Structure 1
Amino acid sequence: MPSSNPIPETARQPADAPSVNALSERLVTRLVDNAARLGVALSRTDGGTVIADAGVAARGSIEAGVLIARICMGGLGRVAVRANLDAAPLWPTMIEVSTSSPVLACLGSQYAGWSLAATKEQTGGKKFFSLGSGPARALAVKEPLFDELAYRDRHERGALVLEVDRLPPQVVIDKVLHDCGLAPDRLTLIVTPTQSVAGTVQVVARVVEVALHKVHVLGVPLDEVVEGVGSAPLPPPAPDGIQAMGRTNDAILYGGRVHLTVRHDDVARRLADNLPAATSRDYGRPFADIFTAFNFDFYQIDSALFAPAEVWVSSLESGATYHGGRVDGRLLHDQWGGQSVAA
């Protein structure tokens, strides 16, 4: 099936560019083959598209969330859970992320930039909306970002992650298949509601991606960034969708730490000064409160807020490392609990 969205020859990737869908394919296979153990429920459409429910009706798991986060990064990142049980830790469970291909892994694959919607007339019920993330974005290249990245994947299989609390209707599945140029049995759709365990993990695992996105917003050339490492606390899921979204955002905005390696010293200095979330006018309140105050409209929130709490930026040019921002453990503990219980 040919793609409906060709891109200019000048914007196509070099012949030796990695395929994020090929690199993540073994991870998708692992998720499907171990679905029962991971708490993931599988179903297939009449055409053979696999739908992996990691938190709508299925329970999901932390391990599933880690695997899904690695799929989101197109197989170009490492994601792990670490126990942080030292005296007075920021939080007892941390997500750690690293990638030596930060631009492609985070913006070319992991970024939730593909808007997928259907009206209630199209679904025969409720309207549907989700942002798609993961390697299949690079097959469809529906976002202007891919022109800047000069990247398009070419692979016969694809996987897309949908952060939504219901399974996708057939009209949305058909759109993804058409735009990606895939046969129905070559697509896997993974559904992870934010208020699920796996959904919480895969959102918090975006701590480096959030940093890369702000690098892009700041107008810094993306090829400046050559390495990315980060960590953020893993909060307990909240049953309420707004609160769950608030917790995952707070984990990064107030607890996320990122270390970037860049090419030039002036870029390192600039990012250390301007990258942290504290540079935003909206910084300092729980994200759920901010979101509610702006009438649940993301676009009214200062874009500078979407960043890690604390950053270190190392320069290959000078060998120096610059630091900016700080974590706010008190805000996190006030929101998530963690107080001692009297005997």
Structure 2
Amino acid sequence: MTTPTPPLANCSLSVNALARPLVAQLLAEADRLNLHVVRDPSGACIVDAGIEAGGSVEAGLLIGEICMGGLGQVRLRSGVQDGWPSWLEVASAQPVLACLGSQYAGWSLSASKEETGGKKFFSLGSGPARALAAKEKLFGELGYHDRADAGVLVLEVDRPPPRVIIDKLLRDCGLPAEALTLILTPTTSLAGTTQVVARVLEVALHKAHELGFDLGHIVGGSATAPLPAPSPDGVQAMGRTNDAILYGGRVCLTVRGDDEAARGLAKALPSRNSRDFGRSFADIFKDVGYDFYQIDGALFAPAEVWVANLDSGHTWHAGALDMALLTAAWLKEA
């Protein structure tokens, strides 16, 4: 039996190089986007997109595209649809690389109190610089390792990373300090909420990977999800961004290959296959004692899925939005 070729084994695209013009735009327009930009003592560029800075939805859209390694579009659509006024639209012609090779928040970064000289630190890193370090098992499965002379990483944190974390990033990415940009996006902020909801397509790609679908057969993807207002409460903010995808996310994947595999993917993907489906994420999280790993993994998926097979011309549909759950949680009548 021959070993399948990893889906990105022959990919020559650099997510860090492709993201670089977007990073330059973010820095050039920082004042307009309500961002604060500084060089930390190491020389790394730190972009505050919602800790002390006000940030903005527009910044979140651009950060979403940076996270996708310059291989995706993230747009805001206004106008009431399904009972909600603001929706994100996400699309990529390179969804496996954009979503799993770049956007996925898979790089675990932690430091103890002793290492920081104060509070312990933890964050999941997402974005192009993950592929420079390629520390995650996922990169071996994808067959992808980026090479670039500058990198950018997004951290969902409410304080700047300590020096020990920055030193680790520079070492693992093989970069000089002045070539590293870190974008800080607390989920309680406008930019943070936006860039997390912009992961609606990535959530579908990750679920497809978990289901064992051949990623090399996924050739395109688009998605939409409602954009809620951020909550000042961290758990509620995380709950809203998750709920936006789990109950309001609609994904269309374009695939090749066997019809039965495509149909099976459509059937298995939606979040309603989870035993935890039907309650807000914040309530579920509270009920499991805030232990993320006690939540049924099948829940982390879009609400509604369409899978179109280019080889047969057939399309399958499964799942449905639950906007009633979202509006009950997010909307207050005047």
TM-score (norm. length: structure 1): 0.94
1:175-214 to structure 2, matched below 5 A, reads: 175-214=168-207
The equivalent of 2:275 in structure 1 is 281
After superposition, what is the alpha-carbon deviation per residue over 1:76-109, rounded to whole angstroms, capped at 9, x for unaligned?
00000000235xx331000000001000000000
Task: Name 1:296's counterpart in structure 2.
Answer: 290
Q: Residue in 1 aligned with 2:133?
A: 140
Match of 1:6 in 2: none
Contact 1:90-1:233 within 8 A present in 2 as well: no
Alignment partner of 1:29 out of 24, 30, 34 = 24
Instruction: Please name the residue that 1:5 is paired with.
Output: none
Q: 2:225 aligns with which of 219, 232, 257?
A: 232
> Over residues 118-171 of structure 1, what are the superposed CA-to-partner deviations in whole Å (9 max), with x where a residue is unaligned?
111111111000000000000000100000000000000000000111111111
**Are residues 167 and 152 of structure 1, via their aligned partners in 2, closer, same or farther at CA, if it must alter by over 3 Å?**
same
Q: Give the superposition deviation at 1:35.
A: 0.7
- Contact 2:9–2:142 (Cα < 8 Å) also in 1: no
2:286 is the counterpart of 1:322: no
1:3-53 Cα offsets, whole Å, 9 max, x none, are xxxxxxx98976761000000000001111111110110111233210000
CA contact 1:13–1:152 (8 Å) conserved in 2? no
Which secondary structure state, in structure 1, belongs to the residue aligned with residue 239 of structure 2?
helix
1:126-137 aligned within 5 A: 126-137=119-130
Check 1:129–1:306 CA distance in 2 against 1; reply closer, same or farther (3 A cut): same
Q: 1:333 aligns with which of 312, 327, 331?
A: 327
Cα separation, 2, equivalents of 1:123 and 1:187: 20
Deviations 1:153-205 (A, max 9, x none): 00000000001111111110000000000000000000000010000000000
Change (3 A) 1:313 1:12: closer
Q: 2:299 aligns with which of 284, 287, 305?
A: 305
Local SS of the residue matching 2:13? coil
Residue aligning to 1:243: 236
1:152 aligns with 2:156: no
Q: Tell me the amino acid that sits aligned with residue 282 of structure 1.
A: D
Q: Matched residue of 1:92: which SS?
A: strand
Coordinate RMSD, CA, aligned: 1.4
* Contact 2:7-2:215 within 8 A present in 1 as well: no
Q: TM-score, normalised by structure 2?
A: 0.96
SS of residue paired to 2:122: strand
Give unmatched runs, 5+ long, in structure 1: 1-9
